[in-house]
Structure 1
Amino acid sequence: SVTEWSRLQSSELCLCLHSGNRSGVLQRKLKRELQQKCQCVFEGVAKAGSPALLQQIYTELYITEGGASEVNQEHEVRLMEIASRKPGGAETAITCEDMFKGPADTEAPVRTVLTKGVAGIGKTLLTQKFSLDWAEGKAHQDVQLLFPFTFRALNVLKDRSFSLVQLLHHFFRGTEEVSSFEELQLLFIFDGLDECRLPLDFTQTKALTEPTESASVEELLVNLIRGSLLPSARLWITTRPAAANQIPAECVSMVTEVRGFSDPQKELYFRNRFRDEAHTIISHIKTSRSLHIMCFMPVFCWILSTVLEHVLKTRERAELPKTLTQMYIHFLVVQAKVKNIKYEGGSETDPHWSPETRKMVKSLGKLAFEQLQKGNLIFYESDLSECGLDAAAASVYSGVFTQVFREEPGLYQDKVYCFIHLSVQEFLAALHVHQTFVHTGVNLLYTKTQKFTLLRVKPKLKHLHQTAVDQALQSTNGHLDLFLRFLLGLSLPTNQTLLQGLLTQTGSSSQTNQETAEYIKQKLSEEVSAERSINLLHCLNELNDGSLVEQVQQYLSSGRLSEGGLSPAQWSALAFILLSSEEALEQFELKKYCASEEVLLRLLPVVKASNKALLSSCNLSESSCEALSSVLSSSSLTVLDLSKNDLKDSGLKMLSVGLKSPHCKLEQLSSCNLSESSCEALSSVLSSSSLSVLDLSKNDLKDSGLKMLSVGLKSPHCKLEQLRLSWCLISEEGCAALASALRSNPSHLTDLDLSFNHPGDTGVKLLTALQEEPHCQGAPGTAETDFTELSLDPNTAFRYIKLSDNNKKATHVREYQPYPDHQDRFDRWFQLLCDTGLTGRCYWEVQWSGRVFISVSYRGIKRKGGDYDSLFGYNDQSWSLDCSEYGFSVWHEDKQTRLPQPCSSSGTVGVFVDCAAGSLSFYTVSSEELIHLHTFNTTFTQTLIPGFWLYGDDSSVSLSD
């Protein structure tokens, strides 16, 4: 168009003015070449052999900003399951136009972007669309020259040497006239890092700085990525998640993730594709969690559409496929029919499994299985020959089974082969293993030792299944998860019926499937990782066994789940149910199910899929921390509450690795039995994470710990906004270190809680002085130990309790006190309440003598009559500390717990209540420190009021000012 031509001329003119006419000519040639190369695509939605214009068929993909470049080895279907549970708003969406602008909160230039995405999610199409927009002058015109590469094409140059200039000449016509690129703004795109077969060694590779210096292709790539070569150039690398760690984190400026289709985009796709049948199709897909999840991938939407389009034309709607195995069987059948009609002149009613087609499926299955075992998604002619398949046959297969197996021409006729998606390869691999066993009795999954041992044993299908289950469970990254689902699904007679003509024998029975299901349930009761247990439940679903899930659903509906009587297998089934729900997992609270470490480990996939994880007071120890760290590193969890768990320093150090996740914003670690030893790890977290809120209250961090924390607070990368350090044994020395840190980096921290410490006048002055400094406008305020103002309520006092000191002191006396009648008065016991209810966090101190019960109570406690349920600590309405010369003890619901701390006939007690957190703590108070006596952890359902029971003659309590 005229507009596009104007854009092109404008950008070329700028280039000519900047670096001379020769470069302008080069840009023109390069743009024309890329337009020709990128404007047409042969992707899933286009009919086989019919190219479609990219600009016409392209649907915007959901791309998110953030994420770490570390490896995530989970099976990609599991990654999609996790992604599908992420609550809306948990991530920051980003467009291609903003890819090199970087996060809004950083000024550093973005040189290298690493974009992750599972196979088939649309990464290659995304880079092609980016290149086409540049070539047509529609976007990215700040880039003067754009060079898109694929690792598939680079792989064939493995043993050859080039200079960077020669490499560009080799791939892009018309660049021969230019030998220097340093002054130009270049963008290199490297698509498919996961397919790279070049040994990228970032530790041993020699440094190169000259673009004209010759080296191996892998050495050129390493130096480009390091920034040694063309440091001003930009790089965009795409990869599947499992290969992301091939690039060192320090070489990556920003990580993005292609998430494929959002839920509305899925529906839009099917409405555009089916129109009249759209409602039926969308409703059916939503009934199968597995199918709905896979629709994140554009290529799977196309597979699904191909199958459903065929089924709706030829079968009753009640027979729409529901499981992954059924879907892929139908897909294979459709491709066989297309081959029969299109290439063999057959009709719709002719048998579609001809001898030639059966041979083709067998050969492709063998290739799929052997390459799956090696972890290969793309194959070269050498790979084909190892599987007994020659290049000529492969070319025939790719020409006939176009939508299953592809031959892609490379540079100078080098050919690359692949299945259209990893899941298709896994399905054909499972089909090959099943067919081989049924027809020959050979178990391809056996090791050589097993084969020798079992030579004289008649093979049974259940042994094949058990071997597959065992091998899948041994996999640390779940690479056999989908293969296992397919293998077990193929054993169902209903699925084998769909493959009549291809499978000449069945070899399975309902008894075999039942034995396999029982074996899986046995494995679920053993020590199985949470992720693998979820896949085993998917396998039970493929076997049409829903008994475990039904049992747990009965527990849920009856309300008996919190009793904690489920088996390990049933807890795994609960995780499966929660993950299969259509409701978003915004918040997960472990106590709703069972406050247990064992249960947490079974429900970890649910934690990973949630936005907030509330795990306070769940009897967790340091044993949980390693697993939780892994969850934090690979999820979008933004809030983690671990308060009131005995994590210790060792647990915190394990957890700190995950706390560096870019997603985690808020961390509750109060009352976790941490000491100053934890602070070094926490300091490192503050220096390199996105934490904005950190609660470390009620941990003995001391001054030495705060000094280490202050190192992290000084870091310019620290984004902490709120820091809670109440009850951490901090004095003037620690406050001085903190003030120094905040003076160095004052821009973020605005809320600092140092209550219930001993900063002294000097510490308070140092911190409050920060607010007066011009460069510390965001400096936080702080407070010394703040007391809650309380007074005794004379309308509640028993008539043998005397009030004095302006209702601050109460004494057990023998003289009757002429208080007026009042409905709130205790009429039989020596008790009284304060006049004000408690909210938020409250602290007060009580001086006592004799024998007294220092309590908090709900307002509704019984006041009349002499029953024991009116006494503080003898009911579920109140909690008490019993103080006397015989020692301390705590009471609740008429249960006494004796405390080991020594006691005299008088003293001072501090009481701290956190109403929202359900925490009530008692301390003895000395001139130097607070000594913890006991903490009640519960859930307060009503307003709390301080109260006292003056048990002994002449006993007294006095509220401190």
Structure 2
Amino acid sequence: MHKKVLLDQGKISKGISTLLGGQLASEVIHNNFYIPLMSVDPEEEGQNASHSVEQVIFTTLSKNRNHGKPVMLVGLAGTGKTTTLDKLVVDWASGQHLQHFSYVFHFKVRELETIRGTLSLETLLLQRYSHLSPESMGLALQAPEALLFMFDGFEGCQHSFEPPTSPSLCSDPHQLASASCLVASLLHGTLLKGAAVLLASRPTGMLNSLNGHRVELLGFQKPQRRAYVHRFFSDPGVASRMFQNMEKTFGFYDFCASPKFCWTVCSVFKFLMDAGERLPETLTQMFVIITVHLIQALSSDEAHDRDLVSALGRMACHCSLTQHATCTKEQLTSFGLQPFLSSQASVNAFLCVDGDLDSDDCVFSFHSQLCLEFLLAASFYLDKSKSENVEEMLKKHEGHVDFLQLYLSGLSNPTQRKPLESRLGEFSSDRIINFRRWVKSMSLKVLGGYYKEKHFDCFRLLHQSQDEGLVKEVVVPPARIGISYGGLGVQDCVALNYMVTCLGKIENLNLMNTKDLTGETVEILVPAMRLAHQITLLQSSLSAGALSHLASALSSGKTVDLNLSHTSMGDTGFKVLCTGLRDSVLHTLNVGACGLTEACGEDLVSVLASGTSQLRVLTLSNNDLQDHGLRLLSRALLSPHCPLQNLQLLRCKLTGGSMEALSAVLCSGHSELRILDLTVNIIGDSGMEHLSKSLQHPQCKLQVLKCFDNELTGACCAALAKAFQSGKCCLRELDLSANDLGQEGALLLCKALWNPGHPLETLSLVRCEMTPPVFQELGVLLRSGSPRLRSLSVGINKVGDQGAKHLWDALASQHCQLEYLDVEMMGLTDACVEDLCAAVKASGSLKTLILKNNNLTDDSVPALVTLMQDRPSMEELNVQYNDMSEDVFELVDKCSNIRY
């Protein structure tokens, strides 16, 4: 009997299904609209794993049968708590679940709150379930472990709950007590010990006093929304189109987890689709359509409609400022809503009603905070007085609202507010102008700074406005929209993409250090990526889907520079990326430290030898390329279609074994390589000999060769010297630093540079174990005037003041053309400063001198400062990390081009 009665009751619709109020639970359950909701069980190991909420509740109620702890279903407004409890009752009554309970008693807390005086639990149950006889109720209460009590809307309870030790709690189902005391006694297990209790509540502090099992309700996530839309619209094609529009427009907002909101959106979409009208593109447009639809249903005139929205705005203002969710009938009258109270349907259109509409105890609230804030924004624009400006209004509501600024921005657009103005009359032009001025002023200030969150707040406002002209007014120099953004949510991507597409281009789309870039987020950004001259994804993490959309954007976009270094995409991800590289206009690609191996070589060949690639600069540094990978890459470099000019291979685990293949490339006549960086690879002398042979070849076009820390010795210098003496070498820059060249090797190299035909301008021999005789030879070479050297780095060769004197003598020569000299960590002391200053004064070319990490003291500072003051052509003197004290900092500060 009990199950049949509950099942019949569950099929009866209670209340009115309204556009803002949502679909009735009975309609959802019995009309096949119920979608299993997801939840998180905080007490489960491996937290944040989501499960069906029914399954979590079934399991938890089974586990807790003898523990006496209530199960607390907690979720935000509209996430489906009421419908979930109703569905549990129907499932139990129809014999599907929870069959170890003989009776299920379901209460609305707000109904219990209206009970005055005292009564026993038995009396309460008999009043609520009149179909049960006193005899059957008496038997039921004797087996509490077979009873399940459900309490919905627990956050509405006006009473505090006493701790279990309180003498006010009752233990006998025949004991008289207040309704709140009976509920508290059930929750704390003093009454009907062993009975199961399930309550549903919004997050509230009252739950903290209960020792229970908390289940967090997530509501509708994207899969549930998709399933719901496909049930709402019978045509699969229409359903897919509606779902895509809903996700594009609203899917990034947290409130989309509300099934009620999902039903509202579907209802509006169906109405618009049937009328042949466009679907909304913003949250503002959605609420404009809803408000117009509800007002039209009231069949009143413009003046009445305007008064209604203004009155609702006053109520919204009161609720926002006082933080009271409900208003009394007396308060509604004071807001000017008395004429509106004559019809239950009219009230339900905009407000929730608790109690009998004819009773003075009836209370009213908005269906949602979204609705409250929209009516607050609309009423602000309807008010043509000059009582307050937008800045004053926003400051007044600061901390109480989340969407007010967005609605004000959306309604400032004439196209978005037009349907509302057609029903209510024109908005205040003064207030709209005031808002636009505020937005422009605020945006210029925010976008000129570096605060990421403020940037995105601004972007969201501008996106909601759907006003391309406003965006172009706001984003002017010195606005920055290319800063590093870190984490990006879907809403951030939508707003950022809107900004860039309005502007039509962006110099650098900087997404550096963005974690968890998914296919969904990058798909949203594809239009912006197509318009970006440069895309920075350094240290970001991209899924395979994200890389696929990035590849698509590259293949049809304007991007010429892409930085994906430290993204750990691996060979699989790189293969996906390559699908977009062949047809892109990309000139520069950095995939350093991306977890690539030799397996990526085949994909590189397919891109570089395609005949369509425009890639000029490729960075593969810090990948496990190895010799086999370089040999594969060499096949591409041999292609006459390969346009590559700059190849960065730092730390790629290469050896001399792959240098023969690379040398063949350089000599082939097809290679366009101008720059080659082999830093920190074990090339060895044999590998350098192969490279040196190619440097002598007339077809070799290499101009920059970096062999820093390649485990070279002086034995390789003879081959290098031969290349310089050949007259065919094109090298302008050579870095042999951190190799043990020694005196003999370095001298061979210096003597080779006497050849007047060599083009070398930059030479780095840092930490090459060079001796004073080598510096003597370098000094003679520089004084001769025959070499073209403009930059020389010879630091970390500890030859002291005596060795450096050869360089000072050379600098003083009118034939020396050095512009940059690095003598870091050479053991220099104050004793060399006099010669150093004299040399720099005499030099007609030197612009930069690096003296870092030497032994200069405060005694040297006056002379160095005087030197820089007398030599305005000197751009930098770097004396960092010397033995100077803070006492001389004030003196050094007199020269802005001294770094200390």
**Structure with the largest fraction of helix:** 2
Larger radius of gyration between Structure 1 and Structure 2: 2
**Structure with the largest fraction of strand:** 1
Q: What TM-score does the superposition give when structure 1 sets the normalisation length?
A: 0.47
